[in-house]
Structure 1
Amino acid sequence: MNTILQDPTGQAYKTLIQVAMEVCDEFILVKRDQMELESEGYELLERLKPFLKEIVKDDYWPGTRLMGHYADVYFFRCSPDAVDILLSYSTSLYSWVQTRVPDDLCFLRQGQPWLINTAHERESHIVTDVEEELNRLEESGLLFRDLSVFYP
């Protein structure tokens, strides 16, 4: 597991979303029951409807377990057409926080987490050992495998 240490923004964020859409088959967004969602969040969910696979009422999604509360976990099919929609509602990974937009954009590959994002905690992890993916993420500044750059 590789931890993202800071909030990806700009080109690094765009690259992350593009890579995730290419290598994963679905992504999730979460609407918590105990919190309001602003009109912008509902508008986003409406624009993503063509990619919607299912909505599951649950108290768990990658990186989060609720205690005594539930949320609607929206599962969407990954598609290049969804990239621009996501990027038009968020400029960074940790901005996926309800009430403005749904929580915790995460990506799954064959039902297993690839990008685990707990936005309100500002914590995320990428789960992959595919060298090509790791290289693309490293080149974009999202991932550091050679920590000697920090320890001369």
Structure 2
Amino acid sequence: MKELLEEPKGTTYKDLLEVAFSTCDEFLLVKRDQLDLNKNAKQWIEEIKPHIKEIRRQDAWPGTTLLGHYADVYYFNCNQELKEVLIRKTERLYQWLQPELLEDICFFKNGKEWLATVAHEQIGVIMTEDENEIEKIRGIKGIKMS
């Protein structure tokens, strides 16, 4: 399954995060060099700092390739505490945009892309061949894929 997502919001978004966190082992968020962060975003980064596994300088991540620019890509392990932090901070999938937040949340399962987003373009893609995962995703009330 490789399906485009119509933006999940509210309970649908929270249920998608539940499935992502129960399925995946890692996720990333991006801070682009050419875009500033506002005060709220900087405070939020301080809040999640203890959970940051690694920050890499990259010019590409799932769904995005920069030309002549770089970004700090923040990597995190999926865990219950971080899931709750994300649920408190956001109400929809394509809300992950600078300057208010970090960008382009992406989830990985065993090193492979599972959910990739390009928030500015409102693109989200789920990639899985696991029938149980597909069933869980399709069972999310309000989820719309094409």
Alignment of 1:57-136 (within 5 A): 57-136=57-136
The CA distance in 2 between the partners of 1:98 and 1:142, in whole Å, is 25
The CA distance in 1 between the partners of 2:89 and 2:52, in whole Å, is 17
3-state DSSP class of the match of 1:35?
A: coil
The CA distance in 1 between the partners of 2:114 and 2:144, in whole Å, is 14
Alignment of 1:50-61 (within 5 A): 50-61=50-61
Would you say the 8 A contact 1:137–1:143 is kept in 2? no
Superposition deviation, residue 143 in structure 1: 4.7
Structure showing greater relative contact order (alpha-carbon pairs closer than 8 Å, 6 or more residues apart): 2
Would you say the 8 A contact 1:47–1:85 is kept in 2? no
Identity %: 40
List alignment gaps of at least 5 residues for structure 1: 148-152
Moved over 6 A (4+): none
* Paired residue type of 1:37: L
The CA distance in 1 between the partners of 2:43 and 2:108, in whole Å, is 23
Comparing 94-103 with 135-144, greater Cα deviation is found at 135-144
Highest Rg: 1 or 2? 1
> Could you tell me the TM-score, scaled by structure 2's length?
0.93
* Per-residue Cα deviation, 1:88-111 (whole angstroms, up to 9, x for no partner): 211100110111101101111122
- Provide the alpha-carbon RMSD of the alignment: 1.4
Superposition deviation, residue 55 in structure 1: 0.2
Q: How many residues align?
A: 144
> Could you tell me the TM-score, scaled by structure 1's length?
0.89
3-state DSSP class of the match of 2:74?
A: strand
